Amino acid sequence: AQTVTQSQPEMSVQEAETVTLSCTYDTSESNYYLFWYKQPPSRQMILVIRQEAYKQQNATENRFSVNFQKAAKSFSLKISDSQLGDTAMYFCAFLDSGAGSYQLTFGKGTKLSVIP
Amino acid sequence: DTAVSQTPKYLVTQMGNDKSIKCEQNLGHDTMYWYKQDSKKFLKIMFSYNNKELIINETVPNRFSPKSPDKAHLNLHINSLELGDSAVYFCASMRGGQEKLFFGSGTQLSVL
């Protein structure tokens, strides 16, 4: 079974600064997908960024980028120019696309606070 | 138009009651899920349906019964509600080949 570990339960960052959230995972699969989801106080689950394991190039979405280290099974999220609206829970997630199960496994989350 | 919609958004009920949560997606996706988020914010999969067929059924009490009348709907019925069932329940959907889940806004269930 796949596991996803987020070792930072809480983090804080000053507005306009950069912060990196850590995520490691364990799997024996070679074909999979990794995600970061954001959950603000509104409770909505918002997809921030997605990485395909077979792509070496790190995914980027505006101020959000990842550092994907496949051999180390590491998938960290970097938020640049942090904004107050980035305050939220951030979940790292792993999708096993093999055997047609398409099961998404989540880490326990990191609560990020952006300080004015 | 909301892509994945759940109703109700909030549900407050007494122990022992039976309740249902409805989920509909208008994205044309063929796989739908139910996730439970506990008080510590941990998200765990409960069920997954693909083309109305059950493909994932995690260790969930049999008081929980999913029903998929068609590809666009996946409802969750809960019998004999217990205090420990209090949580936020999320519906989600995905199209095979896209590998990207879209979530509903969640249903906060409070059992008194």
For a pLDDT cut of 90, what percent of chain A falls above it? 80
How confident is the model over A66-105, as pLDDT tens digits? Answer: 999 999 999 999 999 999 999 999 999 999 876 666 788 9
Q: What is the 3-state secondary structure (H, E, C) of chain A?
A: CCEEECCCCEEEEECCCCEEECCEEECCCCCEEEEEEEECCCCCCEEEEEEECCCCCCCEECCEEEEEECCCCEEEEEECCCCHHHCEEEEEEEEECHHHCCEEEECCCEEEEEEC
| Residues of chain A positioned with their CB less than 8 A from the CB of B103 | 37, 44-45
Mean pLDDT over B64-87 rounds to: 94
Which of B4, B36, B41 is the best substitution to test chain A (most A C-beta atoms within 10 A)?
B41
pLDDT score at A99? 60
The verdict on B34 touching A (C-beta cutoff 8 Å) is: no
The verdict on B55 touching A (C-beta cutoff 8 Å) is: yes
Contact B45 A33 (CB under 8 A): no
How confident is the model over B28-67, as pLDDT tens digits? Answer: 998 999 999 999 999 999 988 888 788 777 778 899 999 9
Contact B41 A104 (CB under 8 A): no
Query: A37 CA to chain B: closest CA distance, Å?
Result: 10
Residue A45's closest CA among B7, B36, B81?
B36
| Residues of chain B positioned with their CB less than 8 A from the CB of A102 | 31, 48, 50, 55, 94, 96, 99
